[in-house]
A and B are shown apart, each in its own frame.
Chain A
Amino acid sequence: MNLTILRKNERAQVVLGLLIGIAFGFLLQKGQVTSYDVIMGQLLLIDFTVVKVMGSAILTGMIGFYLLRNRGLVQRHVRTGSWGSNVIGGLIFGLGFGLLGYCPGTVAGAVGQGSLDALFGGVIGLLIGAGIFARVYPVLSKKILNRGAFKSTLIPDLLHVQEQTAVVLMAIGIVVVLGGLEILGF
């Protein structure tokens, strides 16, 4: 099948990575989520642009992914999480998120729109942090990352429902949250 050939063609994939990155950066910037004030506004709970972008992205992507997967065109890329990895790592990420005011994708977008704090603070900091992590990884992977593994990998397993039921429940949840924000005037 042509898709298999395309996915294995490393040169084509480098070009595709660049093109998907360009489209992603374009969308993030047009959505204003490459702006420090918009991201901090979300974390301060006064501006809900980030939730609106992420909520509608998850809703659209979830339905699209479900339909494509039912036709055998895409496969899942998920891992079973753990307290040691996802909760501790997630909270450390949050500390950095609040201090920097950008995340790893939006910091790159902020650089593109001219934010010099994102370039000389954020990107340099990320490169330092990546180097530190590479050095502590052997110890972390032995002692912390696998601690307290989650029992379920997927939401349907967690809730003991069928996959399509979980998709419908997630979709309702997202619509309720986004609708609620609109009704409350955010």
Chain B
Amino acid sequence: MVWYFDLPYWDPYLVGVGIGLLVCLAFLLSDRPIGCSTAFVKIRGLIEKLIRGPKVEAMEYYRQIPPRVDWQFMIVPGIMIGAFFSSVLGGTFSPGWIPPLWQQTFGGTIYLRVLVALLGGIFLAMGARWAGGCTSGHGISGSLQLSVASIVSAACFFAGGILTAMVLIHVIG
């Protein structure tokens, strides 16, 4: 069994089956879909609370998504830890600023990559909260419950993503 964890990567279909079972387990044990974007609202709210005090909790959005350490919050640090173990065991852990495709297209300037990533992150969080979920919350957990809103959202994630990536890599790059 241990040797299997040492493989750098697993078959994508096997990984998908694992994620599908994990989503079922989350529904069973926690009565929740697995979603990630809510955690970023909670982390942001907690940081604001540290700086501006408890009045932050009175904001309308934070009353809906209270900034506290709970199930939804823990998913994101959990993913970081899980991916860290997976990459260390598989020998794929490698600190770096610039992914190969970006390097080929735009070269090795770190600040350019970080700036575009930052901008992307801002739109990503706004879009996820606007649509009420992300690739895991809508794309996987919502779609498998046969939710129309989730399937429409996922289609728009990919339509917008494909258009943006094509323009970024083929037109600008």
Interface of A with B (CB < 8 Å)? 3, 6-7, 10, 13-37, 40-41, 43-45, 49, 52-62, 64-65, 68, 73-82, 85-101, 103-118, 120-135, 137-138, 140-141, 145, 150, 152-158, 163, 166-167, 170, 178
Question: CB distance B145 to A101 under 8 Å?
Answer: no
Nearest to A94 among chain B residues (CB) is B160
Question: CB distance B22 to A20 under 8 Å?
Answer: yes
Residues of B within 8 A of A58 (CB): 20, 140, 143-144
User: Which of A27, A35, A106 is B18 in contact with, Cβ under 8 Å?
Assistant: A27
Assembled-state Cα–Cα distance A103/B165 (Å)? 13
Task: Kindly count the residue-residue contacts between A and B in the assembled complex, taking CB atoms under 8 Å apart.
Answer: 531
User: Which of A25, A64, A115 is B21 in contact with, Cβ under 8 Å?
Assistant: A64
Question: CB distance A23 to B168 under 8 Å?
Answer: no
Assembled-state Cα–Cα distance A116/B93 (Å)? 12
Question: CB distance A3 to B160 under 8 Å?
Answer: no
Question: CB distance B17 to A107 under 8 Å?
Answer: no
Nearest to A63 among chain B residues (CB) is B20
Question: CB distance A31 to B118 under 8 Å?
Answer: no
Given A77-B145, A129-B126, are A98 and B83 also a contact pair (CB < 8 Å)? no
Given A20-B75, A60-B21, A112-B80, are A126 and B121 also a contact pair (CB < 8 Å)? yes
Question: CB distance B15 to A27 under 8 Å?
Answer: yes
Assembled-state Cα–Cα distance A26/B85 (Å)? 7
Given A100-B121, A101-B120, A127-B125, are A29 and B131 also a contact pair (CB < 8 Å)? no
Question: CB distance A31 to B27 under 8 Å?
Answer: no
